[in-house]
Amino acid sequence: DAGVIQSPRHEVTEMGQEVTLRCKPISGHNSLFWYRQTMMRGLELLIYFNNNVPIDDSGMPEDRFSAKMPNASFSTLKIQPSEPRDSAVYFCASSPPISSASYEQYFGPGTRLTVT
Amino acid sequence: GEDVEQSLFLSVREGDSSVINCTYTDSSSTYLYWYKQEPGAGLQLLTYIFSNMDMKQDQRLTVLLNKKDKHLSLRIADTQTGDSAIYFCAERKSGGYNKLIFGAGTRLAVHP
């Protein structure tokens, strides 16, 4: 299996621009998580989905952030408009169904976002 | 609150043992995890322990769980330079969605 795939790996954009981060979870996994990592705040859970349905978006910092999961194999995290303080590494992770008795989250390699 | 707490830094000499400590908050957490993050990479699961266990050993890794004190530790025997990384402790919340609460991570530096 290819693991969790994220694109792009690096993104540099100007303040005010729209940014879209993409994630393909591992096939067969039904939970998907978006995290943000910064030196100041560590690893923060932004939102997670189960069976393509958003379960908890309380970690989304503000209305500029939105996430979608139109099907089981694809999710996006969008920032519009972007600001310098959004600069961070964004991770996507997926996990298999609870019934599989595996409780691990598998992380993608991350997208490093720089907003100038 | 939901805080999982870890010390931020640990420095050890190559060949010595490293012990990374963590305290968690939810006594009903069913699984507790240690993840490793190498520079420029995502988090990878190192090991985990089920809440009804006190200890788990896996080659150079030993996990100890004290449920009474909600304390988790990771011991790395014979620490190597390749063990230099950030180590995250995490607890799986009770409930059905595999939501994990992560600590801030402990940066382990291994020096000759």
Please tell me the distance from the alpha carbon of residue B11 to that of residue A85, in angstroms, as a whole number.
Answer: 31
> Residue A103: its chain B contacts at CB < 8 A?
30-31, 48, 92, 98
Q: What is the Cα–Cα distance from A78 to B41, expressed in whole angstroms? A: 22
Q: Could A105 and B44 be called an inter-chain contact, meaning their C-beta atoms sit closer than 8 Å?
A: no
Residue B73 scores a pLDDT above 70: yes
Do you know the residue count of chain B? 112
Q: Is A108 touching B (CB cutoff 8 A)? A: yes
The whole-angstrom distance between A18's CA and the closest CA on chain B is 24
| pLDDT tens-digit series, residues B41-68 | 999 999 999 888 889 999 999 999 998 8
Length of chain A: 116
pLDDT digits (tens, 9 = 90+) for A37-95: 998 888 999 999 999 999 999 999 889 999 999 999 999 999 999 999 999 999 999 99
Min distance B93 CA to chain A CA atoms (Å): 11
Number of Cβ atoms within 10 Å of the Cβ of A62 = 8
Burial of B96 (0-12, 13-18, 19+ CB in 10 A): exposed
Sign of the C-alpha dihedral computed for residues B55, B17, B5 and B59 taken in this order: negative
Taking CA atoms, what residue in A is nearest to B96? A98
Place of tokens 């290819």: A2
